[in-house]
Amino acid sequence: MIEYLIKGPLWYFSLAVFCIGVLWQMARIVFAKGKTDLSVARGSASSGAIRNVFSRFVPHREIAAQIRLQVVAGYMFHLGLFALLFFAAPHVHFLEKHLLGFGWTPMPHWAFIVAAQFAFFGLILLWLRRMLNSVSRLISTTDDHITAILTFVVMLTGCLALGKGFHALNLLHFFTVELLMVYFPFSCLMHAFTFIPSRAFTGAWFGRRGIDA
């Protein structure tokens, strides 16, 4: 009964909430009011937007040393999570069977272990910094902590579920993923999508002013 619920109605519900929620949030941004800039542009807004979407992946040399921990931990977490999400064998098989109809070569078990260690280590470092650093502590919101905990639990149950004998852990992982998917569109996890318009808007602004950003 629980398995049916988690892999049936709850899965479709959370998938629908995730997809519709993300689309709705992106549409709200795209269709929100915005003013046309009446000043005469010096440079190209569109090339500035495109450049900024990519250039912000690399920190400015001038502050790289001061933000080393955020950059290293951030990349460890995001790259590890990306690898786990799209290249862990169970995920590839799941996506092929239930969503896409096609698959790709999953990463070997050793790579999974490395990716998981990267993701866990990065997330824990970022979370510790959030709680210990005076700046992060001041600006952090409840949402930041919920997303960190939820992501941690999803990754933890995912790793535990790898033991094939523990079917209950597999169900638990499934369930936590569903929680994450439902929470995703209404949280700061949306930055996975909204970073694109955010960087593009600012890049366009810099671009039309001809600023070397």
* Residue whose token pair is 């078990």: 109
103 is a contact residue toward another protein (CB under 8 A): no
Contact status, residue 174 vs residue 7, Cβ threshold 8 Å: yes
109 is a contact residue toward another protein (CB under 8 A): no
Residue among 199, 183, 209, 207 at smallest CA distance from 29: 199
Taking the complex as a whole, the smallest distance from the CB of residue 4 to another protein amounts, in Å, to 29
Sole binder of another protein in the list 70, 85, 87, 124 (CB under 8 A): 70
25 is a contact residue toward another protein (CB under 8 A): yes
Nearer to another protein, 96 or 144 (CB): 144
Taking the complex as a whole, the smallest distance from the CB of residue 155 to another protein amounts, in Å, to 17
Sole binder of another protein in the list 15, 29, 125, 162 (CB under 8 A): 29
Contact status, residue 97 vs residue 169, Cβ threshold 8 Å: no
Stretch 117-146: interaction string toward another protein, x if CB under 8 A? -------------x--xxxxxxxxx-xx--
Taking the complex as a whole, the smallest distance from the CB of residue 31 to another protein amounts, in Å, to 8
Query: Which range in 85-93, 152-160, 172-180, 199-207 contacts another protein by CB under 8 A?
Result: 199-207
Q: Which helix or strand (DSSP H or E) is residue 14 part of? A: helix 9-30
Please list the alpha-helical segments (H only) found in 56-190: 61-64, 68-87, 89-94, 109-132, 134-139, 142-160, 167-183
Taking the complex as a whole, the smallest distance from the CB of residue 14 to another protein amounts, in Å, to 15
Return the structure tokens found at 63: 């502050």
Backbone angles phi, psi at 184, to 5 degrees: -45, -55
Report the alpha-carbon distance of residue 25 to residue 195 in Å, rounded.
13
44 is a contact residue toward another protein (CB under 8 A): no
98 is a contact residue toward another protein (CB under 8 A): no
Return the structure tokens found at 68: 């080393």
Which residues contact another protein by CB under 8 A? 25, 28-35, 37-40, 42-43, 52-53, 56-57, 59-60, 62-63, 66-67, 70, 74, 130, 133-141, 143-144, 185-186, 188, 190-191, 194-195, 197-203, 205, 209-213
